[in-house]
Chains A and B, each alone.
Chain A
């Protein structure tokens, strides 16, 4: 009800605006058009506002910054807390009104309204069904001798890895994290390469027994009709939430920024409001296997079947703060060059 009222108010406000244009909203997105399509379609149907999506990868923040006050961007959608923080630092945002984010858990909205999270994903372990029995594992285990030559991961400099390392720095300090990272590096079965799915494939092929990856890949592989071989890969592994006992499973987010010079500000606010609605959150959960961040919206049945996520309550802002340090640490221990002994 409240949301409907806000929408009505926003709608009224947009009619009152002096510069009435055909209603549309321009989305600069790091998320691929195919992932966004069900969301934008639902939004268009609901509001009649047209959505234009520009899929950009690295450099989206720099682009909006250099376009300055003439930028057509209304909202910027991205993944990873680090990139959201970079958008904040670059000053390309304006505060998202608090009435839109009122129901969002505190950790998922930037205090000044620079960004709001839309979904969460956990950085978990994929372990071989045949070769691994352990039920409870922790990130610390990755460095123990038991896992020597059995661990696979993508590049330590990938945003998702950096997020995990940054969270370990925030919890355990830089010295301990460095030691841990060296331990993990020496336990690697191979030089970090490929993406998260490639690591699962490496378990399937017998090259390693444990891989680090984001939760939603499991769902995507299990439902991949285009490349059914991926179903086989996924069937050879099971998912373990690390540090679940201490409620410290590392979680990263995808989120949205309201652009500083948004030409269609009202439409943009409606769009963000829609993305946080139960309807949109459910679409995220069902089609992309991510965790909805709004209380009351459930993860998909498939995701729930993997067990319960007990997310780390570490403030995301702290992870963002430690990214620079994490990136340097990964370089310092030459993580991406693989085992050193």
Chain B
């Protein structure tokens, strides 16, 4: 799994004449803008994600059951699609500004003030609105597994809801919060489409500039690795800081978290907040896509090629999800058994933070090399050329998905294993069950919620993935995301809306199912 990163490191060494100017001039700018973006998104997703998880798991208010899963909905929307939809809504010719002009009689934008969506702040808000579910999911899972004892104790001691939140809930949920925020931030780092759309001078942008405008792939690899190292250091520092704490209260105190019933005005306020979050994160982009799609379908301009792309998308995502969950199970198992933090698997998690196209290059180079060896071999032995069986087939895409999203499945499964402990497995062994029987009858069933959650998340991620799929797919294979991109890049947004909506629809099914399963089992 670390192979692409190593390949990038190898590429980075390719031309060791580090461009002085590159690092001293642009890196500070890029780091500042990327840092600000990460800070905004981190704070925003943490607040919204934690608040929403806390609200649905601690209070009774109108629509609570609905919001429990509705909060997950924005996860189905890729950042680049959300970015496009929001720009359509907020720009000069969009519905809001058009209304303002109709009401005020203004003709040009110089006559009134309106926030510019194409800005760092715009990017941060729009991305946060679809990324907060990562925090919501991890925090909610945590709250559901959390014993109600501590909260009950806090309340018995006379602390009100706010005090309980700041003194008990917030410190306790730190690990879950960090997991969620980290996922959201890595998503920001590998995004290419949205930051370009919003004109943010992110680190991704200078990686691309260096690579494409200066034909300097080694320099680009150096920059990408620098960024990864920075992120890696941050994660490591965080883990180091809480290395000796055990946050996980055991589940054996069977006190279920009890719900506090909110009074009517407060309850309605909470409902409004929840509805607002879901509307902005999910409602706005989907309504925009829907209105354009309906227009498109009415004009009968649907391209038939969309259906094979639909099937391909599902097959590839299912393959990616299966691979990630199987491998994630074994890596998590290794971590638990050794009770340590293996350096190499830590390296593997970096895949999640590498800009997709750069990661794809890191995959192409070793796979292309292997293909060369294989073909040399088959030619020497059988006199046959088998072609690009690795880099020219869906294997390359599945490999990319695994490298990108293994972290997601690994983290979920490892957390569940830790929580469950090894007692059950030991008992099974003592009773004479062999390891296969233990695996099938004890291990996997007890991990089911986590496995389902992991599979769901990875599946959704794979459907949304664009840059690696675009560069690695074999000739003739299209997915919905490559379809969207092809249309959007000739600025044919209307044609892009239908496949974009399909992406959202497919991603919705597992997102909702997974959310429900997780709820039922915990």
- Residue numbers of A with Cβ under 8 A of B are 26, 28, 32-35, 52-60, 62-63, 66-72, 82-83, 85-86, 89, 155, 157, 159, 162, 190-195, 197, 201-202, 204-207, 220, 226-227, 229, 233, 323-324, 326-328, 331-332, 334, 336-337
Contact = CB atoms under 8 A, between A and B. Distances in A.
Contacts of A54: 473-476
B375 A56 contact: no
A155 B206 CA distance: 12
A59 B217 CA distance: 10
A155 B369 CA distance: 36
Nearest to B363: A66
B490 interface: yes
B152 interface: no
B208 A58 contact: yes
Given A194-B118, A337-B201, A66 B387 contact: no
Given A67-B392, A70-B375, A58 B357 contact: yes
A201 B98 CA distance: 14
Nearest to A195: B491
Given A59-B361, A67-B391, A72-B387, A194 B199 contact: yes
Contact of B199 (A34, A89, A192, A326): A192
A334 B29 contact: yes
A contact patch SS: helix
B213 A159 contact: yes
Interface in B475-496: 475-476, 482, 485-487, 489-495
Contacts of B217: 62
27 contacts: A52-B475, A62-B361, A63-B471, A66-B367, A67-B364, A67-B388, A67-B392, A69-B375, A70-B375, A71-B388, A89-B215, A191-B119, A191-B199, A194-B118, A197-B491, A201-B92, A205-B92, A206-B108, A220-B491, A226-B301, A233-B93, A324-B213, A324-B214, A327-B214, A328-B214, A331-B21, A332-B25
Interface string B1-41: 00000000000000000000100011001000000000000
A331 B93 contact: no
Contact of A34 (B109, B476, B486): B486
Interface in B32-60: none
A17 B388 CA distance: 23
B491 A66 contact: no
A62 B489 CA distance: 20
B21 A332 contact: yes
Nearest to A207: B109
B221 to A, nearest CB: 11
Nearest to A86: B215
Interface centre among B110, B206, B209 (most CB of A within 10 A): B209
B209 A327 contact: yes
Given A33-B486, A67-B371, A70-B371, A226 B494 contact: yes
B399 to A, nearest CB: 14
Interface residues of B, number: 64
B372 interface: yes
Nearest to B120: A191
B205 interface: yes
Interface of B: 21, 25-26, 29, 91-93, 107-111, 116, 118-119, 197-199, 201, 205-206, 208-209, 211-215, 217, 296, 301, 357, 360-361, 364-365, 367-369, 371-372, 375, 385, 387-388, 391-392, 470-471, 473-476, 482, 485-487, 489-495
B21 to A, nearest CB: 6
B contact patch SS: helix
Interface centre among A28, A32, A57 (most CB of B within 10 A): A57
Contact of A62 (B213, B214, B364, B491): B364
Nearest to B196: A155
B475 A26 contact: yes
B361 A331 contact: no
Nearest to B471: A59
Nearest to B366: A66
A233 B91 CA distance: 13
A206 B471 contact: no
A312 B98 CA distance: 41
Contacts of A323: 213-215
Given A193-B118, A195-B491, A157 B213 contact: yes
Contact of B489 (A32, A59, A332): A32
Contacts of A52: 475-476
B21 A58 contact: no
Contact of A32 (B199, B301, B475, B486): B486
Contacts of A195: 491
Contacts of A331: 21, 25-26, 206, 209
A139 B466 CA distance: 37
Given A26-B475, A72-B387, A56 B372 contact: no
Contacts of B367: 66
A337 B212 CA distance: 20
Given A62-B361, A68-B371, A192-B199, 9 more contacts: A34-B487, A35-B490, A59-B471, A70-B371, A82-B213, A205-B108, A207-B92, A226-B494, A227-B493
Contacts of A326: 213
B139 to A, nearest CB: 34
Nearest to B361: A62
A59 B25 contact: no
Contacts of A191: 119, 199
A334 B475 CA distance: 39
Contacts of B476: 52, 54
Contacts of B205: 157
Nearest to B118: A193
Contacts of A63: 364, 471
A70 B372 CA distance: 7
Contacts of A89: 215
A211 B118 CA distance: 17
B491 A67 contact: no
A326 B369 CA distance: 34
A324 to B, nearest CB: 5
Interface centre among B29, B212, B217 (most CB of A within 10 A): B212
Contacts of A327: 209, 213-214
